[in-house]
Amino acid sequence: MRTALGKIIFLFAVVLSALPGVSFAATSESFEISGWIPYWRASLGVESILPHIGTFTEVNPFVYTVRQNGTLNEASPLTDAQWMNLAGQSKEKGIRFIPTVMWANPDAIDDVLRDPVKRQEHVRAIVREVYARKFDGIDIDYEGKYARTKPYFSLFLKELYEAMEFDKWIMCTIEARTPLDSRYSSPESIPKDIEYANDFAEINKYCDRVRIMAYDQGRIDLKLNKSNVDPYIPVADKAWVEKVVLLATKEIDKSKIVIGVPTYGYEYDMFNALDGSGEVEYSNLWSFNPGYATDTALKLQIAPTRNSAGELFLTYPASQSLDPAIPLPSATRVMSWSDAEAIRQKAELAEKLGVRGIALFKIDGGQDAGLWDVLTQYKNKSVVFVPATISTNTSEISATVVPSRNLYFGITGEEVRTLQKFLNARGFSVSTTGGGSPGNETNYFGPATVRALIKFQIANGVKPSVGYYGPITRAAIKAL
């Protein structure tokens, strides 16, 4: 959620900057589960998720697209009965209802975001939609951007961040980034001029959650391709997902990272390279939901096995394909898909790596029915974030991190600075730059401090959550 001067940054890796060698105790937070429901299967998706809605922290109707000029398009009206039902039940159970804006036109993205006027209008359109519809926030999923768009995408996130108030969330969904030493065959072959379209450090500043699309791996990881026997063409090998996430944690706080987990699979033709090199090649045919694979296995009387990537796996001669269109009759048909066990392994990985949770793409009625049992196991899980220790000057702050007197809007004093340091260190940032930002705390209790304190109060069940620092809030801090 937000402060007026900036989006809340969950800095669980930062500690109270005024006490040498002192850090807060590890913070235990709920393991989060979110899921995208695609507009093209809205009824089936909502119908399948509603009986299990209590296992989710957040739901993401995948409904908004963007026109060439940057205006929003509602691909599935959120006034339809199924979406209204989902929104109502989410609100009743305290689950975040945050629709996704998906945009995958790199030319249009570049044109709109690099133009200050168009970019501002795009920001206003999103903010208007969030407040008019009473959403809990928005999920930004802008894919396939050019590297040249990077600074403008960062500016867009910053301006969106500043336009939202404290009680809204900005979620960012981004492509997975494979380590370069796994993408190229040798250090010498790595290009010197590689540029990325996403600035992880800037995304870390302006996004409450960063969902990494850790799927559609295919053959991108040369090291894993080499160490696994063909056929090897996974949707998301758990070993690759771990590489992707560890790389992201170098610039993005673990407390923000959510692992995107697939619920689907791909079918390929595998064949020997036509150039006579002896290399194995793959041709991607189509994606599918698990039911298609299990039906195929049943009809062909072939038992699926679990492959080295942790996914279910099926191979058979392409000539036996049940589909009348056989691209390569002499090829081997390969199917690899993410079932409930593969999803459980990704959730286990998220827990092991200490990141925030998982996000499922997609919930559309076609996911493995065993998924719900897996999610139930993780419903009450916790993730522990251990803050680091920072040594700095102690002259500006008393030994306690809990201000002893009541504080409120307009008051001044060193205990206000103490409170700001506490809020910044716990992830409820007073400001991202200037006065009130980490290392630049002030002795003035202004609007930014009020809003940061409100965020802390909401997160810790302090009522009323009005930005007044008194006995109830003091007790909540001491209880941490």
- CATH at residue 127: 3.20.20.80
Distant-in-sequence, close-in-space partners of 349: CB < 8 Å, separation ≥ 6: 238, 241, 242, 245, 259
Q: Which of 385, 417, 449 is the last residue of a domain?
A: 385
Q: Residue 10's pLDDT band (boundaries 50, 70, 90)? A: very low
Question: Which domain, by its residues, includes 435?
Answer: 1-20+389-480
Of 22-26, 91-95, 324-328, 454-458, which range is least confident? 22-26
Instruction: Say whether both 208 and 175 belong to one domain.
Output: yes
Tens-place pLDDT, residues 118-132: 999 999 999 999 999
More confident residue, 479 or 47: 47
Alpha helices in 306-339 (DSSP H): none
318 and 345 belong to one structural domain? no
pLDDT at residue 4, as a whole number: 40
CA-based end-to-end distance of the chain: 20
Same structural domain, 65 and 198 = yes
Whether residues 184 and 324 share a domain: the answer is no
Residue 388 pLDDT more than 50?
A: no
Instruction: Please state which of the ranges 328-332, 429-433, 443-447 shows the lowest mean pLDDT.
Output: 429-433
User: How many independent structural domains does the chain possess?
Assistant: 3
Mean pLDDT of 297-304: 96
475 lies in the same domain as 407? yes
Task: List, for residues 357-378, the tens digit of each pLDDT value.
Answer: 999 999 999 999 999 999 999 9
With a CB cutoff of 8 Å and minimum separation 6, the contacts of 60 are 34, 35, 36, 37, 98, 99, 100, 139, 171, 359
Can you tell me the distance from the alpha carbon of 284 to that of 264, in angstroms, rounded to the nearest whole number? 14
234 and 211, same domain (yes or no):
yes
Domain boundary among 385, 403, 422: 385
pLDDT digits (tens, 9 = 90+) for 270-293: 999 888 788 899 999 999 999 999
pLDDT of residue 310: 97
Confidence of residue 164 (pLDDT cuts 50, 70, 90): confident
Instruction: Compute the distance between CA of residue 349 and CA of residue 343 in angstroms, rounded to an integer.
Output: 10
Residues 168 and 290 in one domain: no
- Beta-strand (E) ranges in 67-195? 72-74, 96-97, 100-103, 137-142, 169-175
- What pLDDT is attached to residue 136? 95
Q: Is the pLDDT of residue 390 over 90?
A: no
β-strands 169-175, 280-288 pairing: unpaired
Looking at residue 431, its pLDDT comes to 83
- With pLDDT > 90 as the criterion, what percentage of the chain qualifies? 71
As a whole number of angstroms, the distance between CA 201 and CA 33 comes to 24
- Say yes or no to pLDDT of 433 above 80: no
> Does residue 475 sit in the same domain as residue 364?
no
Q: What is the pTM of this model?
A: 0.79
Adjacent-strand bridge partners of 140 = 101, 172
Average pLDDT along the chain: 89
On whether the CB atoms of residues 207 and 172 are closer than 8 A, the answer is yes
pLDDT at 12 over 60: no
CB 170 within 8 A of CB 256: no
**Domain's final residue, options 346, 368, 385:** 385
CB atoms within 10 A of CB 368: 23
Write down the pLDDT at residue 267. Answer: 96
Same domain, 192 and 113: yes
Which pLDDT value is given to residue 416?
92
Residues 342 and 284 reside in one and the same domain: no
Span 171-208, pLDDT tens digits: 999 999 999 999 999 999 999 999 999 999 999 989 99
In the predicted model, what is the mean pLDDT of residues 63-82?
96
219 and 257 in contact (C-beta within 8 Å)?
no
Q: Is 115 in the same domain as 217?
A: yes
What pLDDT was estimated at residue 380? 80
**In a shared domain, residues 190 and 315:** no
Residue 156 CA from chain centroid, whole number: 18
Q: What is the CATH number of the domain that holds 425?
A: 1.10.101.10
Residue that the structure tokens 């559309």 belong to: 364
The pLDDT of residue 16 is above 50: no
Cα 381 to its chain centre, rounded Å, is: 18
pLDDT at 18 over 70: no
